[in-house]
Structure 1
Amino acid sequence: MAAEKNAFVWNDPFLIEDQLSEDERMVRDGAAAFAADKLAPRIEEAYADEKTDPSIFREMGEAGLLGITIP
């Protein structure tokens, strides 16, 4: 009899979600929210103009995304 295999999880193929602590999930969710709210609206124009708005780094720092230490 062949060993039964678990179904492949397409949206999390490495099962990262199961390996993250609650704190790590909070960091991930905060970074995703920042990217959606602050980066996504600017990305097309920045890419087309080949420019980076320096203020984005200040905003990332204020959001705690620069120099972050993850336990």
Structure 2
Amino acid sequence: MTPILKAKIIEVCDKKIAVKGINVGISFYAFFKNKNDNPKLLMEAATWWIQTHQLDHFEKAVKIKQMVLDL
């Protein structure tokens, strides 16, 4: 995982947890705007989420953050 994606995931998870609490769920789409302005980074996130870890569409933000921190 690139440092850019890692930082983005942690930042988004922190924001979501701060606003909605520790039970908030997210998908990998949460790390991107509604338009595909960085397809390479989107594919990296999708590959990590779907192929590497076989995660469900929605996962707890705290789980995803911890997985990224453990890398």
**TM-score normalised by structure 2 residue count:** 0.33
- Structure of higher RCO (CA pairs closer than 8 Å, 6+ residues apart): 2
Larger Rg, first or second structure (1 or 2): 1
**TM-score normalised by structure 1 residue count:** 0.33
Greater share of residues in strand: 2
